[in-house]
A and B are shown apart, each in its own frame.
Chain A
Amino acid sequence: EPEVTQTPSHQVTQMGQEVILRCVPISNHLYFYWYRQILGQKVEFLVSFYNNEISEKSEIFDDQFSVERPDGSNFTLKIRSTKLEDSAMYFCASRGQFSGEQYFGPGTRLTVT
């Protein structure tokens, strides 16, 4: 069964450093999403991406964040200068064209020290 994959599973970085979180969505999906979950809090939407551009972004998704689909398979989230409050589990999701379900990856736990 096809699934969304994410790498790395755990990333530790120092404050101010850049990180790139990688996702491989399900191959025939066209819509891509990033969500995050700070420990003890709700899962919250960051950004959606379709047709090589951002469809929607939340207030959290400021200029420090960017997304890219550099090739036909990967979907990345970059944080340019990490802050302590960026520590969270980051989930990637993808969706097919004619379906409302979003399929999630296992997440990347980002720890900023």
Chain B
Amino acid sequence: AQSVTQLDSHVSVSEGTPVLLRCNYSSSYSPSLFWYVQHPNKGLQLLLKYTSAATLVKGINGFEAEFKKSETSFHLTKPSAHMSDAAEYFCVVTDRGYNQGGKLIFGQGTELSVKP
């Protein structure tokens, strides 16, 4: 069965410093992986997706993630944090192929705080 584990429940960084949010996945086949972000009182917004093309995936707002099969990881990074990045981030895997309409399986979430 597919699953994801987010290794940190809370990450705090200073504005202008790099962001690293860690995610490990478990999948019985080549997975489709996503990062979603949830700002307070807002819906879940897709940041980026990996669908077995390029292993380095670029998303919105300067975020990117690298799929590493050998490490079963899909960590989210950003070179320089902005105050507006403060939110909850979810690593997500589908339970089947990308276009097959499967359900999304969420990690526990990582709350990112950005200090001025």
A residues touching B (Cβ–Cβ < 8 Å)? 3-4, 31, 33, 35, 42-45, 48, 50, 55-56, 58, 91, 93, 95, 98-107
Contact = CB atoms under 8 A, between A and B. Distances in A.
A36 B41 CA distance: 15
B43 A100 contact: no
Given A100-B94, A104-B43, A104-B45, A48 B101 contact: yes
Given A42-B106, A42-B107, A43-B106, A101 B101 contact: no
B67 to A, nearest CB: 15
Contacts, number: 55
B32 A100 contact: yes
29 contacts: A31-B101, A33-B103, A33-B104, A42-B107, A42-B108, A42-B109, A45-B103, A45-B104, A48-B103, A50-B101, A55-B101, A91-B44, A93-B44, A93-B104, A98-B99, A99-B99, A100-B32, A100-B51, A100-B99, A100-B100, A101-B34, A101-B49, A102-B46, A102-B104, A103-B46, A104-B36, A104-B43, A105-B43, A106-B41
Contacts of A44: 106
Interface of B: 32, 34, 36, 41-46, 49, 51, 90, 94, 98-101, 103-109
Contact of B42 (A56, A95, A106): A106
A35 B94 CA distance: 14
A98 to B, nearest CB: 7
Contacts of A103: 46
Most buried by A among B44, B99, B106, B108: B44
Contacts of B94: 100
A3 B43 CA distance: 10
B36 to A, nearest CB: 8
B101 A106 contact: no
6 closest cross-chain pairs (CB), A and B: A100-B98, A104-B44, A106-B43, A45-B103, A43-B106, A104-B43
